[in-house]
Structure formats: C-alpha cells, structure tokens
Amino acid sequence: MSILLEMKRVMELEASSIKALSEKLGANYEEAVNLIFNCTGKVIVTGVGKSGHVGKKIAASLASTGTPAFFVHSTEGVHGDLGMIQQDDVVIMISNSGETKEVLSLMPSLEKIGSKRIAITSKPESTLAKFCDVALAYEYEKEADHLRLAPTTSSTITLVIGDALAVALSILKDFKKEDFHIFHPGGSLGKQLSNEK
C-alpha cells in the first residue's frame, strides 16, 4: 500500500463530496442564513462527538466574523446549560444521522424555550431535520477511512457548511477588517491587521 496514494484518495473523496454539495445548494441554505441574520439574540451550536468538535469551530468562526455565537455540548445542555438559550436565539443542531440521542434530548426544552432551530444532517427525513425550522441536509458517498466508519467526509462537509454560513453572514453584515481586528487583536493575524492601520 502506498501511504501517499491513500492520503490522496482521502483528500480527493472529501473534495469531490464538497463539490457535489456546492452544486446542489437549495433555498434552505439561504433561509438558514436569513434566519440567523434576522436573529435578535445569539447563535448556539450543539452536537456531540466529532459533530461537537466541528460545532465548536463553527461557533468560533461565527463569533470572529461578526455573529455572536457559542457552543453548548448536547449532554451538558440537558444538565443545565440549556439555561444559556433564550427565545430570540437560533440553535444550530448537528447530527450526521439526525438521530443522535444526546442531540434529540434537547428537543422538548428547546420547543418550550421557543428558539429557532437549524439542523445540519445527512438525513433530510430524520427526527432532527423534521424538528428544526430549517434543515441543511447533505449527501456523501462514504466516509473516507478504510473502514468507512470514522466521521471524515461527513465532518468535513459539516465544517464547510459552517464556514459558508459564517462568511455569508459576515458579508451581509458588512463586516470589515477593522471589525475583525476588534475580535482578533492577537496572534499573527492581529499583528498583520495592526500594521495595516
């Protein structure tokens, strides 16, 4: 087995899945952006496992590009962290299967709170997709690992969807370099932006 060929296969499989998604974007994606743009509260992203890790990055990207957001682990949510969520918020719920028990356990409370909900899932007919106001469903041929089990292709697609949401919202909000610098004064990016003043 050639290690380099295997790595190339993984990259090409994930890249082709992203390209396929970009060619099938529907009105639901625009609806999700508008839902967040018109939100008078904040965005909360939730998930568990690899979806949770990706969710943390999505929340961080939203926050740094002008959309107030933070991550709530779904398990912690049902142990009190749902108190961070209010009616005027939007909750992005991530589950590849759309049937993740920990994510679905938030549904009764979120319904009572009355916040808007966006699902990111590969199953448009799943419990999660049906529960949410907007479902951002994606398709992919298979996971990229040799067992076809580890979240690889699916988690990459989820990350890309999050990036696309963050960038679209940032453009709608007319978010500028000066604004980015306020939220990101540190590191090499902060230094670069300081030097441009």
Distance (Å, rounded) from C-alpha 133 to C-alpha 124?
12
Q: pLDDT at position 178, please?
A: 81
- Counting beta carbons within 10 angstroms of the beta carbon of residue 81, is it exposed (0 to 12), middle (13 to 18) or buried (19 or more)? middle
User: Residue 24: which of 166, 118, 161, 148 has the closest Cα?
Assistant: 161
Q: pLDDT at position 193, please?
A: 63
What six digits make up the tokens of 18?
């992203």
Instruction: Tell whether the model's pLDDT for residue 190 goes beyond 70.
Output: no
Domain boundaries, the chain: 25-195
Q: What is the mean pLDDT of the chain?
A: 94
User: Residue 118: which of 175, 180, 64, 62 has the closest Cα?
Assistant: 62
- Percent of the chain exceeding pLDDT 70 equals 96
CATH superfamily placement of domain 25-195 = Glucose-6-phosphate isomerase like protein; domain 1 (3.40.50.10490)
- Please give the average per-residue pLDDT across 19-42, as a whole number: 96
Q: pLDDT tens, 97-122?
A: 999 999 999 999 999 999 999 999 99
Distance (Å, rounded) from C-alpha 36 to C-alpha 59?
12
Residue 56 phi/psi, 5-degree rounding, is -60, -40
Virtual torsion, Cα 39, 71, 117, 99, nearest 10 deg: 170
Q: pLDDT tens, 62-107?
A: 999 999 999 999 999 999 999 999 999 999 999 999 999 999 999 9
- Please give the average per-residue pLDDT across 146-173, as a whole number: 96
- Please give the average per-residue pLDDT across 191-197, as a whole number: 68
Q: Which pTM does this prediction carry? A: 0.93
